[in-house]
Amino acid sequence: MLRELMIENFALIERLNLEFGPGFNILTGETGAGKSIIIDTVSLLLGGRSSWEQIRAGADSARIEGVFDLGGRPEVDNLLADWGIPVGDDRLLVVSREIKKSGRSRCRMNGQTVTVLTLNEVGRLLMDIHGQHEHQSLFSAVSQREILDRFGGEQIKEEADRVAALYTKWQGIKKELASLETDEAEEQRRVELISFQLQEIEAAQLQPGEEEELSRERDILAGAERLYAYIAEAYQRFYGMDDGGSILDHLGAGVEALTKAAEVDPALKPWVETTSQVACEIEEVARELRTYRDQITFDPERLNQVEERLDAIAKLKRKYGQGILEILDYAAKLRKELGSLGDRTERQQELVQQLAAVEAELITAVQALSVLRREAADRLEAAVMEQLHEVNMGKTVFKVALNRIPDAQKGIKLDGAEVAVGKDGVDQVEFMVAPNPGEGLRPLAKIASGGELSRLMLVLKVILAEADQIPAMVFDEIDTGIGGRTAQAVAEKLLLLGETHQVICVTHLPQIASLAHHHYYIEKKTHEERTKIKVRALDQEERVEELARMLGGAEVTTTTREHAREMLQLAAALRSEMSRT
């Protein structure tokens, strides 16, 4: 429910702080005092349109803030969690809206900046505004279907869940089947392409690491003459010089000299050992160099073969991957796809059978759901018609239309016709109204009279009080064109609704105002050539004065005060009786 409303520099309001209570709240005041301005600010908190023209003259911006008590609302919690909006243990949601002269609007929820769309999504779960304003959830065809389903009870919910599950399964099969049912010529072209590519890759008989080995072999073959010359020279330097000038000759002489020196100084023996070891290792290297030199071949034909193989690998890399491993992986994928294309016909037959079976179940389920909805619609129509008499709308006709949309391409065959189907079934629920005799039924959203619309909404809300999940409602212009017994009946219904919901109502009628749990008075005052709107909660004696004004107009008399006091006493007794029942 809405606990607090703070307004700053909006229209004629300079600064205002209102605390609403649970149950039935009433706003009264002289005509033109600005009651609708309060409703406008609530509409903005719920995601309504804003305009810089709403900013109070002389101010740069307007600010509205509302504090909502979420109570136990898991659907709101889930929505807020999806957008990362925190909710504390106090279960409060602070919604603020700032309007600047630039035309930009800033929205926040618990301090986090959100879009107007987010504000609207959350707002529709927090409160409804009924009357001349745009925020009316019952106008939505989706909302009307949801209301009918909730009114129908657990049986409809179970059947609706079954329909949703079957529809999801049906759509999944259709999607897979559609992916298989490609054009046969296109499929054949794909088979031919895959076969060609596989043949090309497999014919190459690629081996992992082959390219690196071939590149090394090519470098050796291409530089065979220079390599032979370098190895031969190294061998000669180490071992094979005939004039005794090789490294090994010099090392041998050096070892012999160190050996003689060690006979004089034994401390030199480690040097002798090290030098001898070096000489042995160099001798071993020399022998290896000779073997390597003798194996070097000058083979231009083999070089050409290696170059051709590397060129073939390069062409495959340009087509199928950056390396041999990638090419082989691509070939594996081609084999898998070719196998799936070959199994397509068999899988198609399986899916066609599955689709027929699931579709038959879906048709049975949506038919059962439609029957349950029709039964619930009949009960709802009867309940609404019965209560319309009590709010001076006895000649109004209310119907719940269950329509189906033709769809020959994507629908299901039902009762001899192809109709659209969705996760909610085949029924398009629409509340239809004929306000006056001789007028045809029209959709609820097209009712012209704000008063008639608000009273009809009130009747629906009273009937659907247990099913309706929206915890708070605002009624504006609900008393247009009514009085006497009708006004009393409307007042009692608002009070009844206030037993399970928070109700905020703008009214001119004392019968309605007298029954409220909380009464707020709105007045317009001019000070220093500036007009301001003030709102205050009334105590018992102030309520007597306000009701007397509403009863007698500008002149308040002892008689009107006594009448007002009596109305409040009767209202208190009625509230007490309702709370007991």
State the pLDDT confidence band at 534, using cuts at 50, 70 and 90: confident
Query: How do 61-69 and 24-29 pair as beta strands?
Result: unpaired
pLDDT of residue 285: 86
State the pLDDT confidence band at 366, using cuts at 50, 70 and 90: very high
pLDDT of residue 262: 79
pLDDT of residue 135: 45
| Mean local confidence (pLDDT), 30-43 | 80
| Mean local confidence (pLDDT), 336-349 | 75
pLDDT tens-digit readout, 279-332: 888 888 888 888 888 777 777 888 888 888 889 888 999 898 888 999 999 999
Q: Is residue 572 within a helix (H) or strand (E), and if so which, with residue range?
A: helix 558-580
**161 or 306, which is more confident?**
161
pLDDT of residue 32: 67
| Mean local confidence (pLDDT), 384-397 | 84
| Mean local confidence (pLDDT), 327-350 | 81
Residue whose C-alpha is closest to residue 520's, from 20, 31, 34, 22: 20
Share of the chain above pLDDT 70, in %: 93
**119 or 444, which is more confident?**
119
pLDDT of residue 421: 93
Check: CB of residue 47 under 8 Å from CB of residue 479: no
Q: Look at residue 246 and tell me whether its pLDDT is greater than 90.
A: no
State the pLDDT confidence band at 275, using cuts at 50, 70 and 90: confident
| Mean local confidence (pLDDT), 536-547 | 92
pLDDT of residue 529: 72
pLDDT of residue 448: 53
Q: Environment class of residue 6 by beta-carbon count within 10 Å: exposed (0-12), middle (13-18) or buried (19+)?
A: middle
pLDDT of residue 14: 85
pLDDT of residue 563: 92
| Mean local confidence (pLDDT), 116-120 | 88
Distance CA 579, CA 581 (A): 6
pLDDT tens-digit readout, 1-18: 999 999 999 988 888 899
| Mean local confidence (pLDDT), 352-356 | 92
pLDDT of residue 137: 63
Distance CA 151, CA 33 (A): 39
Enter the tokens of residue 128. 């409804």
pLDDT of residue 466: 61
Residue whose C-alpha is closest to residue 355's, from 159, 175, 160, 164: 175
pLDDT tens-digit readout, 50-88: 888 888 888 889 999 999 999 878 888 888 988 888 888
Average pLDDT value for the chain: 85
| Mean local confidence (pLDDT), 487-512 | 88
* CA angle (404, 407, 411) in 5-degree steps: 90
| Mean local confidence (pLDDT), 567-571 | 91
Distance CA 65, CA 44 (A): 10
State the pLDDT confidence band at 94, using cuts at 50, 70 and 90: very high
Q: Look at residue 183 and tell me whether its pLDDT is greater than 70.
A: no
**341 or 429, which is more confident?**
429
Distance CA 109, CA 88 (A): 12
pLDDT of residue 133: 46
Check: CB of residue 505 under 8 Å from CB of residue 474: yes
